[in-house]
Structures are given as structure tokens and as C-alpha cells.
Chain A
């Protein structure tokens, strides 16, 4: 048996609500386009799941440039949720996945609870969507632009509305830009979320000292990449203590060791984000690495790694 086949025969399966994944490695929304962009570089069928670029009811043009800037061990982005809108997504982007085995999870975003709910209803009836991931880091236009994900009641209301609209598994993606992420996590669990994923990007900024101007046109943006991994890991660990639904870890994961840290801290699965940009095959390398880990440590499955943190 060649090493690759040997790894794939190891039990890497995990469940996120009713969704069965062949392995716990997903692509993070916004870092993997609509899947097709990576088709010639990545064996898409090996992925545990593909979470596509966030979709809104109407197309969005996004922010003016510059939208991205590299920082130490990370990057700031202010893309501005540019996307083709749900109709074009269904017509132009979703058909590509017909021949892909890996489940497609659609990340959704909106300006109001009604928009989330309409979007969820629209996607619920479409063949080829395995689950929804709800981005609650967006501003609530009706509540003065306060991000849904920063107020427990608002986070719960969005979750409840999406939950009511769909039979699909609902994952709620949490913002780290809060005082206590566990309060939000509990609120969305109580509101019916099947899982939580965290963390979204950390709000940051960078300044060009030669011009005294911000490096991003939007002034502030979301920090991602290896720089945020310790913060993400801490939050995943905290949330895993207080919720009983699966936790999906996100934040600076680029290697097998990174992924294992999140699993040990309590994550059931992980998402690889910024690493897709600098190392498009990172997901595949992590899947192989997790297989090797399970085999070499003599565990029965990758599920035994979840929540195995040793504390005195």
C-alpha cells in the first residue's frame, strides 16, 4: 500500500451535525474562491469540505483598492465582501461542484435578519449545498451598523432565523472582536446552531509612515494568517469548554501540527484559510499528516484527538 492510500484508509471521519465529513479539513470562506480557482493545483475530492466565498442576496462590488496588505506573519484584508450574489452563485458557480465529491458549504452574509433568512431559504432548496455557514461579523444596518456577532441577542436572532429557514446543518462563524466569545457561542447554540466555527479575522490596521496614510483604503481590515493562531487557539479552547455542539477551529492553520493543536484544544474540524494563498496544497498536506498521526499514535480515529488537552 502506498503511503497516500495508507493514510486515506485511516479513520479521519467527523460529523458536524448531520453532515458527515471524510476528514476534518475544510477550506475557509474567502480563501478558496468558488473552488474552481484551485482545481488545477489541489485534488478537490480529497478535501473534507469546501466552504465557498461568502454570498449575499445581491451582488456586492467590494471595497476600493488597496484591499490587502502583508503584515508580519499575516495579512490584513478589507475585500468588502465582494461576491456575485446568490442568483449568479447558483447559476454560474455551483454547477462546477456536480462532479466533486467533497461537500460544499455556503457561507452567507447580510445586512439584516430578513436578508439572512431569505438567503437561507433560497439555498435550502438548491441541490448541491451540504450546509450553511453564517457569517455574523457583518454590520447590522438596521441597528446602526453594529456587527451581529458582537451582541449575543443579535447573534442569536440571526441564528434562529436561519435555523427556521433551512433543514441544512447550520454553522455559525464567530467574530473574535468581542469581550467574551463564550457568551456569543452559547447564545448561538441555544438559538439552534449545529456547530460554531471560529475565529473570523481580528480587526487591525497598518499605516504607511512615508505618507502617514493607512495602507488599506478601508483604513481598517481583518488580520489573518499564522500571526493570529495563538489567539484563535485560545478562543477555540474557551468555546469548546462551554458548548456541546461541534467547534470548527480557524485561524492561522497551515500545517498538520497547527491543525492538531486546534483538535487537541477541542475542535472537531478545522478550516485552512490564508495558507491556501501561500501554499495551495496546505489542505492536502494536513490531511495526509493527520492520517499519519492517527496511524503512528495508534489511535482508533481522529475523533480521539478532539478535546484531548492534558491539564494538571
Chain B
């Protein structure tokens, strides 16, 4: 696998809520090589605190060589990233890891929770270009509240996907967990792609297992390098020992991992 390090100029920054941002950067070599589900390691400035790069899944890729990252401010790194503006440069290494395994011809459903929605948009873009057996595969999106979902719902809809939403506070769509929307859909599809908080992915994985449906999960852990060198990003493996999220994933078959909660 070939990775690139690119000094990438920020071309756009949008705020979806006061703490959810989307930035678009020019990174033509990474954008060209990227597959849905892969990620980039971002160094925002040459600071020693925060020290490490931050992993972000690739949210969108455009033909003009740009890619977008979608993130919520949760700590030092994301706070600093939320402070970048168009014209500034950030340093990216990517594309990294193993993305979604696209199975043309099978009907599918995507389910995203919170910032886990990010890689699903790139997947949705890509699946449009591949052969699609089932008409209108559903996209299920969950978040805390309406305003986190408005723009994203609109964008998935524009791609031609029927979107079903769920919010914790009931301000948009189903009042409750997005996983509850899966119950009537899971039996109609052959493949589920999921990304979100670990407890949510665990529930989706169990539902898919019960229904006998293939499920691909996109995992997230702390990472120091993203390159398979530090061995810090482990997840317990079904076969014993550990998977390394940066190299064996971030996308894996739900069957490969053990959900320790």
C-alpha cells in the first residue's frame, strides 16, 4: 500500500453546529488513491502539545483533488482543527488502513451514528458509481439532535438515498436510537455498513448476526502513528489476540472482533 504525506491547503470550513465542523482540503494524491472507509492522520500545526497526529476518516472526495473531514470538538486536537481557516495548511498522511469491502450486486444498508456518519458519505458516493442491485438502499442516521443531521440528511438525499433519521431528543425522525430503525430493514438487505460509537456498532453487529446478514464495522481507537508501527490501536479479535485498527481495519467484518463492554 502506498501512503502519501501532503501539505494540504484548507479551501473551505463549514460549521454544522457550534461544535461540529467540516473542513475541505486540497490533497490530490491522497484523494485520488482513497477508498471509502480509509482514513488520514492529520497534523494541524507543528506543536508539541498536542503531540500526536489525529486520525479522521475520509468523509468526502471530489474530482478536483479535494477531500473533506467531518468532526466534533472533543479534545485538544479537534479544538485546534476547528480553528483552522481557508488558506491555512494542515499536514495529512494517507490514505491509510483497510476500507469498506464493496460487494457489488448485493443490497445494502448504511447506518451511522454521530460522527460515524463521516465515512458513510464517501461510501455512498462510491456505491453510486458501482452497480447497485437493490433500488434505493436505505441510509439510517442517528445523532443527539436535529441540527446535527439536517445538512447531512439533505446531502445523502441528493445522492438519491432514502434517509431515515433518529435523534436522542426526538427533534428529528425517530425519538430513540438509530439502531431501532434497523429492525424492519435488516431482513431486506444482504449487507450492512456501520460506523458510530462502539455500543451502537455492537448492537448493529448483534442484530445482523441474528438475521444472518453480513456486517462491516468501522472501528475507532486511540492511535499514535496510523502506520502499523506503534501497535497501540488494538481491538480484541474473535480468533484470540488483537486486531490493529490501523492496518487490519478500520473497517472489519463484525465477525472478526469481540465486543468487550
Does the CB pair A75–B93 fall under 8 Å?
A: no
Total interface residues on A, CB under 8 Å, equals 35
Contact string, B221-248, partner A, CB cutoff 8 A, digits 1/0? 1111101111111111000111000000
Give chain B residues whose Cβ lies under 8 Å from the Cβ of A79. 230-232
Q: Is A66 an interface residue (CB 8 A)?
A: yes
Does the CB pair B222–A277 fall under 8 Å?
A: no
Task: Choose one: A61, A66, A74; the contact of B51 (CB below 8 Å).
Answer: A74
A276 to B51, CA, bound (A): 11
Give chain A residues whose Cβ lies under 8 Å from the Cβ of B49. 72-73
A281 to B223, CA, bound (A): 18
Does the CB pair A278–B227 fall under 8 Å?
A: no
Interface segment among B1-9, B109-117, B156-164: the answer is: B1-9
* Count class of interface residues, chain B: 20 to 34
A110 to B93, CA, bound (A): 35
Does the CB pair B51–A65 fall under 8 Å?
A: no
Task: Choose one: B5, B227, B232; the contact of A77 (CB below 8 Å).
Answer: B232
Q: Is A230 an interface residue (CB 8 A)?
A: no
State which residues 17-52 of A face B: CB under 8 Å: 30-33, 37-38, 40-41
Given that A70-B50, A75-B224 are contacting pairs, would A281 and B5 also be in contact in the complex, using a CB cutoff of 8 Å? yes
Does the CB pair A37–B229 fall under 8 Å?
A: yes
Task: Choose one: B5, B53, B240, B242; the contact of A41 (CB below 8 Å).
Answer: B5
Does the CB pair B232–A68 fall under 8 Å?
A: yes
Give chain A residues whose Cβ lies under 8 Å from the Cβ of B50. 70
Does the CB pair B93–A280 fall under 8 Å?
A: yes
Give chain A residues whose Cβ lies under 8 Å from the Cβ of B2. 40
B240 to chain A, nearest CB (A): 8
Does the CB pair B234–A65 fall under 8 Å?
A: yes
Give chain A residues whose Cβ lies under 8 Å from the Cβ of B213. none
Give chain A residues whose Cβ lies under 8 Å from the Cβ of B4. 40-41
Task: Choose one: B1, B224, B229; the contact of A38 (CB below 8 Å).
Answer: B229
A274 to B1, CA, bound (A): 23
SS class of chain B's interface: helix, strand, loop or mixed?
loop
Contact string, B39-69, partner A, CB cutoff 8 A, digits 1/0? 0000100001111110000000000000000
Give chain A residues whose Cβ lies under 8 Å from the Cβ of B222. 66, 68-70
Q: Which residue of B lies closest to A35 (CB)?
A: B229
Q: Which residue of B lies closest to A65 (CB)?
A: B234
State which residues 260-277 of A face B: CB under 8 Å: 274, 276-277
B230 to chain A, nearest CB (A): 6
Give chain B residues whose Cβ lies under 8 Å from the Cβ of A53. 229, 231
A69 to B223, CA, bound (A): 8
Given that A40-B2, A41-B93, A69-B222 are contacting pairs, would A33 and B232 also be in contact in the complex, using a CB cutoff of 8 Å? no
Given that A65-B221, A280-B5 are contacting pairs, would A31 and B51 also be in contact in the complex, using a CB cutoff of 8 Å? no
Contact string, A57-81, partner B, CB cutoff 8 A, digits 1/0? 0000110111111101111010100
Give chain A residues whose Cβ lies under 8 Å from the Cβ of B232. 67-68, 77, 79
The residues of B with any CB-CB pair to A shorter than 8 Å are: 1-5, 43, 48-53, 93, 221-225, 227-236, 240-242
Further 19 A-B residue pairs, CB within 8 A, beyond A33-B228, A73-B51, A79-B232: A31-B225, A32-B229, A37-B229, A41-B4, A61-B242, A62-B234, A62-B242, A65-B234, A66-B221, A66-B222, A68-B222, A73-B49, A75-B224, A77-B230, A79-B231, A225-B48, A277-B229, A278-B43, A280-B227
